[in-house]
Amino acid sequence: MNDILQILIYGMVLGSVLSMGAIGVSMIFGILRFAHFAHGDFMTLGAYIGLTFIGVMGLSPWFALPAAMVGMAVVAVVIDQLLYRRIRRTQPVILLISSFGMALILRSLIQLIWGSENQTYASGIQFPWRLDVLGGLRIKPDHVWIVLISLGLVAGVHLFLTRTRMGKAMRAMSDNMDLALVSGIPAERVIIVTWIIGGALAAAAGVFLGIDTRLHPVMGWTTLLPVFAAAILGGIGRPYGAIVGGMIIGISMEMSTLFISAAYKPAVAFAIMVMMLIFRPQGIFKGTL
Amino acid sequence: MEFASLFAYLVSFLTFAGIYAVLAMGLNTQWGFTGQFNIGIAGFFAVGAYTSAILTTPESPAYLGGLGMPFLVGLVGATLASALIGLVIGRITAKLRTDYLAIATIGIAEMIRLFIKNEDWLTNGVRGIAGIERPFAGTPLDSPFGYLLVVVAFVVLVYFLLERAYASPWGRVLRAIRENEPATAAAGKSIARFRLQAFVLGAAIMGLGGGLYAHFFGFLSPEAFMPLYGTFLVWVMLIAGGSGNNRGAILGAVVVWGVWTLTELATDLLPTEYATQAAALRVLLIGVLLQVILVTRPQGILPEKPPKLIARKK
């Protein structure tokens, strides 16, 4: 029982990371109509931007988060304006190839700038809190913060999407592109805001992953498959679904270590995704297929 | 460089380019003809390579197989095994948008990599399979040059097969699906079935490419593939050469493999302590090359030329 609770906590931490990535993937898919394959490497780049910021300033790891989010939002908009905007007018699937190329460009840039070794935000061991009430359950303060901050960010995205004009415009474009365009929604501005949110949340995912484990140039790429699985599970183009999807995938992946080799964790995400594609491709929350 | 080593280098270069040409033509069937996205090329390639290796190597206690079958049986097995994987993944995604196929193929490639790495009983895990022999052992053709001829023969074979398919009514339906799906469906064609057929054919060709690689290199291990870069290079080859055009796929394979090899020669001049950076720099260059092509010349060096309409016989 204790083990299961412990693993549940790890699952929720992973789930928070995946949700942060999946919301961005889901929004980009909804508004720009393509699967953004560079999203994993956005996460990685965000994590490294945070690392440099706290390294230069000599701050605690948590300061990496805002720096990474702001930095990555800017990078995402720059990439869109320099590259994706030029090919947006052709088929969306060309953007898919381009983003796949962008994934490799970003990763090699990260290797060139920061090297290929593992890096960490803070050295030393963090002592977990022991909860004797729950039979000696151990909880790391970092893990609590990761889950709480993700919930806060999700609430922020929710308020933005439901309470602001821009948020409404984004939902409208995701629901029915043509109708949104003829009713005078400024498409270019909506797209830029999409990249700002997507980039910032990807950076948050990267920083969380870096705090929980370590920084490595392929950390984001290896997380991309579960992120896509979470987005599909929740229903693509549905940010709220992405959170549910992220949590389900994250918890399932960690729980699976009770039964099968940990090497096959990504296979669990893949299996859930394939089941979903067979039986309910529109996702739990009926996304825009 | 002396003549002999230059010749050996050229033979090895062309053999690699030929194997990549087979892969690029496989991708052309999926992407160029039908507009289906596959980012799991390395997965199909690995399945082909390992199938052929297991079928043809002498018996070994370390892993399954070692059936000692002839070269051609290995290649047929490679083609079939890869086609089977393509059938499974194609069946799941045939009715969905191609973005889902892209995500599914990246997943299947990752699963195949994990499987090869962790299932020692089948693939000997990270230690890899060694001693895969070239065909025609004991004849004058058992040389790198002889193997180049074999690869070229397969490139020509696949080329003519695909050219025939492209010009046939079947190929016409594929292009129609790519250009206008609703119209093709309205004409009474089963979109999902044609897509699946094209995907499986492409996967089979990629498996063949994997088999050819296994017998060329003689040794397989999970890390020998550079999975992602392999997939990426094939994509750049097809896009650069001209998607939809088989001659473009072959030309792209030679040109991009040439560029890739030249960047290796260039980065070899750097001091050895920069070795990892040099590898990253090469990928960066190829990545930028892809973006430049996509922005400035998306149709590639040799744009697609659909066959002329033949006048109906009176």
For residues A121 and B238, which has the higher predicted lDDT (pLDDT)? B238
- Asked if the structure places residue B272 within a domain, the reply is no
Give the domain range for residue B50.
10-226
Please say whether the beta carbons of B25 and B208 come within 8 A: no
Query: Please, which pLDDT band fits residue A6 given cuts at 50, 70 and 90?
Result: confident
**Amino acid code (one letter) for B311:** A
Residues in Cβ contact with B276 at an 8 Å cutoff, skipping those fewer than 6 apart: A111, A115, A116
Tell me the sheet residues that pair with A129.
A139
pLDDT for position B134: 80
Number of domains in chain B: 1
CA distance B55 to B163: 30
- Asked if the structure places residue B247 within a domain, the reply is no
Query: Please, which pLDDT band fits residue B63 given cuts at 50, 70 and 90?
Result: low
The mean pLDDT of A278-284, rounded to a whole number, is 83
Chain A residues with CB under 8 Å of B178 CB are: none
Q: Does B260 touch chain A (CB under 8 A)?
A: no
Write the residue in B104, B108, B232 that is nearest to A104 by C-beta.
B232
Report residue A150 as tokens: 């993700």
Q: Does B267 touch chain A (CB under 8 A)?
A: no
The region of weakest confidence among A29-43, A222-236, A260-274, B211-225 is B211-225
Query: Please, which pLDDT band fits residue A289 given cuts at 50, 70 and 90?
Result: very low
pLDDT for position A288: 57
Q: Does B232 touch chain A (CB under 8 A)?
A: yes
pLDDT for position A107: 92
- Determine whether the interchain pair B99/A112 forms a contact, defined as Cβ–Cβ distance below 8 Å: no
ipTM of the complex: 0.85
Confidence check: pLDDT of B141 > 80: no
Phi and psi (nearest 5°) for A131? Answer: -100, 100
Chain A residues with CB under 8 Å of B287 CB are: 101-102, 104-105, 108
Query: Please, which pLDDT band fits residue B123 given cuts at 50, 70 and 90?
Result: confident
Mean pLDDT, chain A, whole residue set: 88
Q: Does B114 touch chain A (CB under 8 A)?
A: yes
CA A148 to chain CA centroid, nearest Å:
16
Report residue B79 as tokens: 């083609």
A279 → chain B, closest CA residue: B92
Confidence check: pLDDT of A86 > 80: yes
- Determine whether the interchain pair A261/B118 forms a contact, defined as Cβ–Cβ distance below 8 Å: yes
Query: Please, which pLDDT band fits residue A98 given cuts at 50, 70 and 90?
Result: very high
Question: What number of C-beta contacts closer than 8 Å exist between A and B?
Answer: 121
A85 → chain B, closest CA residue: B295
For residues A286 and A252, which has the higher predicted lDDT (pLDDT)? A252
B288 → chain A, closest CA residue: A105
Percentage above 70 pLDDT, chain A: 95
Please say whether the beta carbons of B230 and B42 come within 8 A: yes
- Asked if the structure places residue B239 within a domain, the reply is no
pLDDT for position A94: 85
Mean pLDDT, chain B, whole residue set: 86
pLDDT for position B291: 92
- Asked if the structure places residue B284 within a domain, the reply is no
Confidence check: pLDDT of B61 > 90: no
Burial A132-169 (b: 16+ CB within 10 A, else e): eeeeebeebebbeebbebbeebbeebeebbeeeeebeb
DSSP symbol at A119: B
- The alpha-carbon gap from A69 to the nearest alpha carbon of chain B, in Å, equals 24
Q: Does B228 touch chain A (CB under 8 A)?
A: yes
Please say whether the beta carbons of A23 and A186 come within 8 A: no
Chain B residues with CB under 8 Å of A288 CB are: none
Confidence check: pLDDT of A8 > 60: yes
Residue B81: closest CA among B55, B103, B105: B55
Q: Does B98 touch chain A (CB under 8 A)?
A: yes
Query: Please, which pLDDT band fits residue A124 given cuts at 50, 70 and 90?
Result: low
Percentage above 90 pLDDT, chain B: 41
Between the alpha carbon of residue B4 and those of residues A242, A266, B7, B8, B245, the distances in Å are: 60, 48, 5, 6, 35
- Determine whether the interchain pair B294/A221 forms a contact, defined as Cβ–Cβ distance below 8 Å: no
- Asked if the structure places residue B135 within a domain, the reply is yes
- Asked if the structure places residue B300 within a domain, the reply is no
- Determine whether the interchain pair A98/B294 forms a contact, defined as Cβ–Cβ distance below 8 Å: yes
pLDDT for position A72: 96
pLDDT for position A130: 73
pLDDT digits (tens, 9 = 90+) for B11-36: 999 999 999 999 999 999 999 999 88
Mutate to test the interface with A, among B88, B92, B180, B291 (most CBs of A within 10 A): B291
Residue B142: closest CA among B237, B71, B64, B44: B71
Q: Which domains does chain A have, with CATH numbers?
A: 2-114+137-279 (1.10.3470)
Percentage above 70 pLDDT, chain B: 93
The mean pLDDT of A231-242, rounded to a whole number, is 83
For residues B54 and A250, which has the higher predicted lDDT (pLDDT)? A250
Chain B residues with CB under 8 Å of A86 CB are: 295
- Determine whether the interchain pair A102/B239 forms a contact, defined as Cβ–Cβ distance below 8 Å: no
**Amino acid code (one letter) for B162:** L
pLDDT for position B143: 83
Angle between helices B3-27 and B191-217 in degrees, nearest 10? 160
For residues A287 and A83, which has the higher predicted lDDT (pLDDT)? A83
Q: Does A35 touch chain B (CB under 8 A)?
A: yes
Confidence check: pLDDT of A82 > 80: yes
Chain A residues with CB under 8 Å of B35 CB are: 93
CA B160 to chain CA centroid, nearest Å:
17
